Amino acid sequence: MSACELMDRPAAIARASAVEWGVIVDAYLTDAARVGDRYAALVYHDLSGVIPDGMTIVTPPIRPIVERDGYLLVRSLDEGDHYVIVSILSESHVRSATPR
């Protein structure tokens, strides 16, 4: 990951958090990779304050709710948590990280 990408991450999270989602957002996710009905991602602004920024998490099973300004709001199937997916990890990054 380049220094420019690292510097842009807080800006993208700030832009996503400025969107009116209509719900309380539990966390913002970057470099998200879909795994079945879950996402593995880096987490920022965890509402509970338990998970530090930049930690990798796996969401509970989720479903998409709405896309706004290029960001995707998702909700856990039990409807207890809302996350905003700020960026998706491209398949080329996933492939290049996979051992051969």
Q: What is the Cα–Cα distance from 3 to 34, expressed in whole angstroms?
A: 25
22-54 tens-digit pLDDT: 999 999 999 999 999 999 999 999 999 999 999
R_g of the chain, CA atoms, integer Å = 13
Q: Give the Å distances, CA to CA, from 63 to 30, 73, 80.
A: 17, 9, 12
73-94 tens-digit pLDDT: 999 999 899 999 999 987 655 4
Q: Where are the domains of the chain?
A: 3-97
Global pTM reads: 0.82
